A and B are shown apart, each in its own frame.
Chain A
Amino acid sequence: ETGVTQSPTHLIKTRGQQVTLRCSSQSGHNTVSWYQQALGQGPQFIFQYYREEENGRGNFPPRFSGLQFPNYSSELNVNALELDDSALYLCASSLIGTRTHEQYFGPGTRLTVT
């Protein structure tokens, strides 16, 4: 186990609704990244937060937004849900400024949009 937790495990929403996914980073980590993994695909980078500021963003529209809190937990918010948003959402924590470099992933939240 990596020490990264995510909630909820599964979620079903209707098109047009809004959703908030939560992530608790591994103890001591200062960076969280969010990825979207569609069925049969590799994870796609959504964005990264370092010390509560966005530190890079992938090719996702503004309706995908995030927050990182002082305790390094994080939220991913998606507004105006679309059917194509159905995917496994993964968060990963890491420690910028060290020689470790790898990211540690949580188990993911499975979002289904109907």
Chain B
Amino acid sequence: AQSVAQPEDQVNVAEGNPLTVKCTYSVSGNPYLFWYVQYPNRGLQFLLKYITGDNLVKGSYGFEAEFNKSQTSFHLKKPSALVSDSALYFCAVRLNFGNEKLTFGTGTRLTIIP
């Protein structure tokens, strides 16, 4: 079985400050990890992924995430938040074999305060 926890339903950050959205996962085996963003009335938009290799991965719009195997975490970060980053963020995990079933967390609503 695989699962994802996003412990914060809501994160508020002042514009220009660094932001972190937390994610921990549980999976039997080696994980593939993803971050997606959802804007109102829209589908999910891919941000970045960890498959293998460097633990720090960079993605779209200046976002990055750090894979920490010992802590089973994959936190999303950005050095300087923009108001346009305000959206709903989902962390997802899948196994590195078999079908491509994604298991999502419950989402974190990020609000950037001008």
User: Does A associate with B in a complex?
Assistant: yes
Residues of A within 8 A of B (CB): 2, 4, 6, 31, 33, 35, 40-45, 48, 50, 55-56, 58, 90, 92, 94, 96, 99, 101-108
Are A33 and B102 in contact, CB atoms less than 8 angstroms apart? yes
Complex contacts, B25 vs chain A, CB 8 Å? none
A42 to B5, alpha carbons, bound, how many Å? 11
Residues of B within 8 A of A (CB): 4, 32, 34, 36, 41-46, 49, 51, 90, 92, 98-107
Are A48 and B99 in contact, CB atoms less than 8 angstroms apart? yes
Are B99 and A56 in contact, CB atoms less than 8 angstroms apart? yes
Are B43 and A108 in contact, CB atoms less than 8 angstroms apart? yes
Complex contacts, B92 vs chain A, CB 8 Å? 42
Complex contacts, B46 vs chain A, CB 8 Å? 2, 102-105
A69 to B63, alpha carbons, bound, how many Å? 36
Q: Which of A33, A41, A90, A96 contacts B101 (CB 8 A)?
A: A33
Are A42 and B51 in contact, CB atoms less than 8 angstroms apart? no
Are B100 and A31 in contact, CB atoms less than 8 angstroms apart? yes
A2-B43, A43-B44 known; A103+B49 contact, CB < 8 A = no
A104-B46, A106-B43 known; A42+B101 contact, CB < 8 A = no
A45 to B92, alpha carbons, bound, how many Å? 11
Are B100 and A48 in contact, CB atoms less than 8 angstroms apart? yes
Complex contacts, A4 vs chain B, CB 8 Å? 43
Are B103 and A45 in contact, CB atoms less than 8 angstroms apart? yes
A102-B34, A103-B100 known; A42+B43 contact, CB < 8 A = no
A101-B32, A102-B49, A105-B36 known; A45+B101 contact, CB < 8 A = yes
Complex contacts, A58 vs chain B, CB 8 Å? 101
Are B104 and A43 in contact, CB atoms less than 8 angstroms apart? yes
Are A90 and B44 in contact, CB atoms less than 8 angstroms apart? yes
* 7 CB-based A-B contacts, threshold 8 Å: A2-B46, A35-B104, A41-B106, A92-B44, A92-B102, A99-B51, A103-B46
